[in-house]
Amino acid sequence: MLEAKHCVGCRQLNDPRYEQLEELIARYKSQKGALIPVLHEAQEIFGYLPEEVQRRVADGLDIPLSEVYGVATFYSLFSLKPRGKHKIGVCLGTACYVRGAGAILAELEKELDIKVNDTTPDGKFTLEVTRCIGACGLAPVMTIDEDVFGRLTPERIKDILARY
């Protein structure tokens, strides 16, 4: 027998987010090109796209799950893993890279004790790398959510993280 916490059906019954998902699918059902907007809003509801959500979307829009998964893995804005409360983006564009972005990234990995694309166990931070964000004059830079931090040195990382 399955333990209750492993039962997808029960989880969905007890989870109001699945009601929202059903409404969302119903809203888009008859529209062409519905998959990307549905995944987008589903990610807003769940914070990421767990497999049961992908299955529900596939069934609701009557498309194969492989296609849903293909689209979800194609766009970097979709995530299949739970994301942290705050998203850190370390710029690895050319200017940041030559000015030491590697050391910044290494410091973040050490400080948070996670690797790129992972989330801290407390769900607070997700660490990602980005291409050039256009703040080359401030290189090296990173973003945390909407905030931009420039002229970074590894020594500043601990203090910056403490603000969140």
Partner 1 sequence: MINLTIDGQPVSVPRGTTVLEAAKAIGLRIPTLCYMQGLNEIGACRLCLVEVKGMRGLQAACVLAASEGMEVYTNTPAVREARRINLELILSNHPQDCLVCERNRQCELQTLAEELGIREVRFSGEVSAYPLDCSSPSIVRDPSKCILCRRCVAVCHQVQSVGVLAPTARGFDTIVAPEAESSLNDVACVLCGQCIMVCPTGALREADNTEAVFAALSDPSKHVIVQTAPAIRVALGEEFGYEPGTIVTGKMVSALRRLGFDAVFDTDFAADLTIWEEANELVGRLQAGGTLPMITSCSPGWIKFIEHYYPDLLDHLSTCKSPHQMLGALAKSYYAEAIGVKPEDIVVVSIMPCTAKKFERTRPELVGEHGLADVDFVLTTRELARMIKQAGLDFGQLPDDSFDSPLGLSTGAAVIFGATGGVMEAALRTAYEWVSGETLGDIELTAVRGLENIKEAAVELPGTDITLRVAVAHGLANARKLLEAIRAGEADYHFIEIMACPGGCITGGGQPRPQDVNDMNELRLKRMRGIYQADKALPIRKSHENEAVKELYEKYLGDIGGEKAHQLLHTHYTARGKYPRQIKQS
**Contacts to partner 1 by CB under 8 A:** 5-6, 8, 50-52, 54-55, 59, 63-70, 73-76, 82
Kindly tell me the number of DSSP H helices and DSSP E strands found in the chain: 8, 4
CB 10 within 8 A of CB 4: yes
> Which CB sits closer to partner 1, 43 or 54?
54
> Which CB sits closer to partner 1, 9 or 16?
9
> Which CB sits closer to partner 1, 55 or 83?
55
> Which CB sits closer to partner 1, 43 or 152?
43
CB 88 within 8 A of CB 94: no
CB of 87 to partner 1, least distance (A): 19
Q: Terminal CA-to-CA distance of the chain, rounded, Å? A: 42
CB of 15 to partner 1, least distance (A): 13
Q: Per DSSP, which regions of 1-156 are E strands?
A: 86-91, 125-130, 142-144, 147-149
> Which CB sits closer to partner 1, 117 or 153?
117
CB of 150 to partner 1, least distance (A): 29
CB of 76 to partner 1, least distance (A): 8
Strands 125-130 and 86-91, bridge-based pairing? parallel
CB of 117 to partner 1, least distance (A): 13
The SS3 call for residue 116 is coil
Exposure of 49 by Cβ count < 10 A (0-12 exposed, 13-18 middle, 19+ buried)?
A: buried
